[in-house]
A and B are shown apart, each in its own frame.
Chain A
Amino acid sequence: MSSPVLHAEGLSKRYGRRLALSDCTLTIPPGRVVGLVGPNGAGKTTLLQIAVGLLPPTSGTIEVLGGRPASGPGQLAAVGFVAQDTPTYPNLSIADHLSFGAHTNPGWDQALADDRLAKLGLDPSQRAGRLSGGQRAQLALTLAIAKRPDLLVLDEPVASLDPLARREFLQTLMAFVAEHGASVILSSHLISDLERVCDYLVVLVDSRVRLAGDVEDLLGTHYRLTGPRRDPRDTPPNVEVVEDSHTDRQSTQIVRSSIPINDPLLSVDQVSLEDLVLAYLSQAAGAPRPALEMTS
C-alpha cells in the first residue's frame, strides 16, 4: 500500500478555551473518496483547514501526501481546496478567476478549465458576484480541479446548493476523480449527500474521530439485531453495541462485529450507511467513548 494521503497523530486545535479538534489520530489511505461526516460544530472545518494548511494545529502532527500542509509551493500545488461557502472575488470575472489559477499554479490545466466552463454553459466575462450559489460552487470547484491536485479537499461543498446543483456538483467531482485518479476528502453534516460518492468514511463528533473506515468494511461488519426484549448487557460475545433501543417487548440493536452473527433468537439485518452513521452520532450524544478505527 502506498503512503497515506493524510496521517494525523494526536491532532488538536483549541480556540481560546474551546476545543475544536481533540486528539485526532487518523490515517486515510490513498485513492479514496473520503466522506467526513459529523454534526455542525464537530470540527470538520477545523480538520480540513489544518489539512490544507489554512490553520496551524495547537498540538499533534499531520502529514498530507507525506508533507507538512502548506509547507511550500510544491505542497500547495498537490492539494486542491474548495472552502465552505465557496468564496470567490465578486468583482472579478470568471475568466479573471481562471487567469488567477493559471498564474498561481504550475500544473494548471487550462483545457480542463475551459472544457468545464463550456459544459456548465458559463459566460467567462460574467462577474463572480453575479453567479448563483451553484454556479459559484462550480467555479470554485473548477479552480480547484484545474490545478490538477493529487488530493482534493472540499468543505461542505454542497451544503448551500439546491438538489439539482448538488447532483451536478457531485457529478463533476466524480468525473474528475474517475479521469484523473485523485484522492478526495469532502465533508458534510448529512451522510445522504455523500453516500453515493464516497467509499471511505470518517465520522467526527464533538471534536473527536468516532469512526473511520472503508465503507464496504463498515457495512459488512455492522448489523441490526432485532429480537425479544433482553438485557442490554446480554449480547453475543465479540460484539460491540453501537446503539440499542427497547420497547416493552422488543429490543433493537445496531452492533459491530467482525464475525457473522448466528443467533436463532435474533433477526440479523444489514444496516444502511445512514443508519450506521446515525447510530454513532446518537451514541456520541451519550457518554464519550474511545475512537474506533478500522483499518482495511
Chain B
Amino acid sequence: MTWFAWRQFRTPARVTAAGLAAVAALLAWTGRILADQWASSGAATCHLQCGTAYDNFIQQVTSSVNDHTYQYLLFLVYVVPPLIGIFWGAPLIARELEAGTHRLTWTQSVTRTRWIATKLAVVGGTTAAAVGLLSWGATTWSQHIDTLKYSRVTPLIYGARGIVPVGYALFAFTLGVTTGMLIRRTVPAMATTLAIYIGAVLAMPLAVRSHLAPLAHATPPLDISTIQGFEIQGAGVMSVVGGASPANGWVLSNATITPAGNVFVGPVNPTYCSPTVGPQTCLHWIGTLGLRQDITYQPTSHFWTMQWAETGIFVVAAALLASFCFWFTRSRLT
C-alpha cells in the first residue's frame, strides 16, 4: 500500500521537490547578497552602537532585490499551507469517491484502516517536511530584517516564521481530507477547506494568540518626539497616542495615562492648543503634563512560547481530524 500511496502522490511530490529546489536556489543567491549587505553595512562587526550600521543595512536591503525577496518569501510561507489543504488534502479521498476507485482499492487485500493510514502518513509526512523546510529557510533568511525592520511577534510576520506554518499545513491537509470525505466532491471540498482554514488561521491573531503567553505591561513616560498623534475634540476633550513600542513587541493596547493613572482625555489648555497657535506649542505643552504610556504587549522573547503553543493547537486539531478520518473510513464511508 505504501508503494501505491507514493505512486499516486508521485507527481505532486516531484512538483514539490522542484519547487523547494527553486526556493533553495533563490535563497542561496539572494542570501549571498544579503550577507554582503550585512557585512558592508557594518552590522556584522559592530558592537554596542549599532544604530547607524543597522539603518545602513536596512537602507541597502530596501533598495535591492532582497526587498522583494523578503515579501515574496513571506507571501509564499502563508499560501503554501492552504494550497496543500486544497490540492493535497481535499482530493485525497474525494477524488477516489468521485471516480469510484475506492471500490477497486478497498477490495484488494488491504484493510481500509491501512489504506487511510498509509495515505495520511505519506502525504501528511511530506506536508510537514516540505513546509518545515520552507519555513526554516524563510525564518533563517529573514531573521535580520525581521528584527531590525519589523518584528517577528507581530501578526503579519509571526504566521510565516518558526514552526507554526507546519501546524497550519498539517491542519489544512487533514481538514481537506475530512471535508473531501464528508462532501465526496473535490471542488466543493476545496472551497470548504479554504473557507474553514482562513477562519481558523485568522482567529489566531484576532482572538487567541495574545493569550498564549502572559502579556507584558509597561508604563514608559510619554516621549513627545515619537508621538503618533493627538486629537482635539469639542468641549476641551483630547486624546493622545504615544509612539513607543517596547523592544519590537506586538502591542495589543496603548493608552496614554495621567500621573494619577487615568486615561488622559484633557482638558485642553486653549492657551497652547488652539488653531491660532501651532501644533508644536500644543505638543510641547503635552510634554509638560507628566503623561505616561500604558502599554500591554507580547515581547519578542515570548516568540517561541507562543509558537509552540499555537503549533500545538493546530497539531492537536490535525490529530483530531485524522482520528475522525480513521473512524469515518472504518465505520461510515461507503
Residues of B within 8 A of A120 (CB): none
* Interface membership of A189, Cβ < 8 A: no
Q: Looking at the complex, which of A85-93, A197-205, A211-219, A250-258 is the stretch in contact with chain B?
A: A85-93
Task: A80 to B103: give the CA distance in the assembly, Å.
Answer: 11
Please state if B103 and A104 are interface contacts (CB–CB under 8 Å): no
Please state if B108 and A100 are interface contacts (CB–CB under 8 Å): yes
Residues of B within 8 A of A81 (CB): 103, 107
Query: Residue of B at shortest CB range from A155?
Result: B103
79-122 of chain B: CB within 8 A of chain A: 99-101, 103-112
Residues of B within 8 A of A104 (CB): 1, 4, 105, 108-110
B244 to chain A, nearest CB (A): 59
* Interface membership of A30, Cβ < 8 A: no
A33 to chain B, nearest CB (A): 19
Task: A176 to B204: give the CA distance in the assembly, Å.
Answer: 61
Residues of B within 8 A of A101 (CB): 108
* Interface membership of B8, Cβ < 8 A: yes
* Interface membership of A73, Cβ < 8 A: yes
Task: A70 to B1: give the CA distance in the assembly, Å.
Answer: 16
Most buried by A among B99, B108, B331: B108
Please state if B3 and A103 are interface contacts (CB–CB under 8 Å): yes
Please state if A147 and B109 are interface contacts (CB–CB under 8 Å): yes
A92-B107 in contact given A85-B100, A87-B100 (Cβ < 8 Å)? no
73-124 of chain A: CB within 8 A of chain B: 73-74, 76-77, 79-81, 83-85, 87-90, 92, 96, 99-101, 103-107
A52 to chain B, nearest CB (A): 5
Residues of B within 8 A of A105 (CB): 108-109
* Interface membership of A140, Cβ < 8 A: yes
Please state if A80 and B8 are interface contacts (CB–CB under 8 Å): no
* Interface membership of B64, Cβ < 8 A: no
Q: Mark A53-65, 1 if CB is under 8 A from B, else 0.
A: 1111000000000
Residues of B within 8 A of A106 (CB): 109
A55-B108 in contact given A85-B100, A87-B99 (Cβ < 8 Å)? no
Please state if A140 and B104 are interface contacts (CB–CB under 8 Å): yes
Please state if B101 and A53 are interface contacts (CB–CB under 8 Å): no
* Interface membership of B334, Cβ < 8 A: yes
B118 to chain A, nearest CB (A): 10
Query: Residue of A at shortest CB range from B110?
Result: A104
Please state if B7 and A83 are interface contacts (CB–CB under 8 Å): no
Please state if B109 and A77 are interface contacts (CB–CB under 8 Å): yes
Please state if A87 and B109 are interface contacts (CB–CB under 8 Å): no
Interchain CB contact (< 8 A) of B104 among A70, A88, A99 = A88
Could you tell me how many residues of chain A have their Cβ less than 8 Å away from some Cβ of chain B?
A: 36
Interchain CB contact (< 8 A) of B3 among A56, A84, A99 = A99
Please state if B106 and A70 are interface contacts (CB–CB under 8 Å): yes
Please state if B111 and A92 are interface contacts (CB–CB under 8 Å): no
Query: Residue of B at shortest CB range from A79?
Result: B107
Please state if B111 and A72 are interface contacts (CB–CB under 8 Å): yes
Query: Residue of B at shortest CB range from A107?
Result: B109
A62 to chain B, nearest CB (A): 15
Residues of A within 8 A of B109 (CB): 73-74, 76-77, 104-107, 147
Query: Residue of B at shortest CB range from A144?
Result: B107
Query: Residue of B at shortest CB range from A87?
Result: B100
Please state if B7 and A99 are interface contacts (CB–CB under 8 Å): yes
Query: Residue of B at shortest CB range from A78?
Result: B109
Residues of B within 8 A of A74 (CB): 109
A237 to chain B, nearest CB (A): 48
* Interface membership of A191, Cβ < 8 A: no
Task: A202 to B106: give the CA distance in the assembly, Å.
Answer: 25
Q: Mark B1-45, 1 if CB is under 8 A from A, else 0.
A: 111100110000000000000000000000000000000000000
* Interface membership of A225, Cβ < 8 A: no
A89-B101 in contact given A76-B108, A104-B110 (Cβ < 8 Å)? yes
Task: A103 to B108: give the CA distance in the assembly, Å.
Answer: 10
Task: A72 to B106: give the CA distance in the assembly, Å.
Answer: 11
Please state if A54 and B334 are interface contacts (CB–CB under 8 Å): yes
Query: Residue of A at shortest CB range from B104?
Result: A87
Please state if A103 and B100 are interface contacts (CB–CB under 8 Å): no
| A-B contacts, 18 listed (Cβ < 8 Å) | A53-B107, A54-B106, A56-B334, A73-B110, A74-B109, A81-B103, A83-B100, A89-B8, A90-B99, A92-B8, A100-B4, A101-B108, A103-B4, A104-B4, A104-B108, A104-B110, A143-B104, A147-B108
Query: 14 other contacts beyond A76-B110, A140-B104, with CB at 8 A cut-off?
Result: A49-B103, A49-B334, A56-B334, A72-B111, A76-B107, A76-B109, A81-B107, A85-B100, A87-B103, A87-B104, A103-B1, A103-B3, A104-B4, A105-B109
